[in-house]
């Protein structure tokens, strides 16, 4: 199994967490997102992933999978322990909903290519930082309210077992710190992230712990 990723890629961070949780060995192939205009735009990588995004997973039987959340669900089906989704349909739906608050509604609008477009349109770094912080704060504050109102409570986003939602959440904290988001309105979300980072699978997957890290 191979995974094309980059140490600062939040979506790749998610996949690294899942691989670690499930103790799956995978060859990491670094695709530098800014060097020489971005290796993701090279003809070689476009032949692998025409969307020019990370991550890409090459399965043991040679299939190419893109989009981190789809990769996570694939890994969960092929390697079912530990499970990343609850057993019941309502639980599955709730966890997917929590995960998508981050993966679908928060992260994409401060993706690297979005920020590059903003800068190309004349935005300075301060304006970009404000843009990113706004969307992260909105996503995290919404998540805080939802988990506080949820029927299922526990030490993580959904009960006492790590789920897809937790895997989606933690990498977003990297951008929250990087761009100075105000997280004072979501203490429980922050506490959950801090608790998850004590789990070896999450800590090992952190950007600064990757072989291609430029810290």
CB contact burial 8-23 (16+ within 10 A = b; e otherwise): bbbbbbbbbbbbbbbe
CATH topology for 89-199? Glutathione S-transferase Yfyf (Class Pi); Chain A, domain 2 (1.20.1050)
In which residue ranges of the chain is CATH 1.20.1050.10 found? 89-199
CB contact burial 30-43 (16+ within 10 A = b; e otherwise): bbebeeeebbbeee
Q: Tell me which CATH code domain 2-82+203-209 carries.
A: 3.40.30.10
**pLDDT tens-digit series, residues 164-175:** 999 999 999 999
**pLDDT tens-digit series, residues 82-140:** 999 999 999 999 999 999 999 999 999 888 899 999 999 999 999 999 999 999 999 99
* pLDDT grade for 215, boundaries at 50, 70 and 90: low
In which residue ranges of the chain is CATH 3.40.30.10 found? 2-82+203-209
Please provide residue 94's backbone torsions phi and psi, each rounded to the nearest 5 degrees: -65, -45
Neighbours of 63 (CB within 10 A): 9
């Amino acid at each position: 199994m191979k995974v094309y990723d980059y140490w600062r890629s939040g979506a790749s961070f998610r996949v690294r967490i899942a691989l670690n949780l499930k103790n799956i060995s995978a060859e990491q192939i670094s695709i530098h997102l800014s060097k020489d205009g971005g290796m993701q735009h090279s003809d070689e990588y476009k032949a692998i992933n025409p969307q020019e995004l990370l991550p890409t997973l090459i399965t043991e039987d040679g299939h190419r999978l893109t989009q981190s959340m789809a990769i996570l669900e694939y890994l969960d089906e092929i390697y079912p322990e530990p499970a990343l989704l609850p057993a019941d349909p309502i639980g599955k739906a709730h966890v997917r909903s929590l995960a998508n608050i981050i993966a679908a509604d928060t992260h994409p609008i401060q993706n690297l290519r979005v920020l590059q477009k903003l800068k190309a349109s004349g935005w300075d770094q301060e304006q970009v930082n404000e843009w990113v912080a706004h969307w992260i704060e909105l996503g995290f504050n919404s998540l805080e309210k939802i988990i506080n109102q949820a029927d299922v409570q526990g030490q993580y986003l959904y009960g006492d077992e790590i789920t897809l939602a937790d895997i989606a959440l933690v990498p977003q904290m990297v951008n929250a710190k990087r761009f100075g988001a105000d997280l004072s309105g979501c203490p429980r979300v922050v506490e959950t992230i801090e608790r998850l980072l004590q789990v070896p699978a999450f800590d090992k997957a952190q950007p600064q712990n990757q072989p291609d890290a430029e810290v």
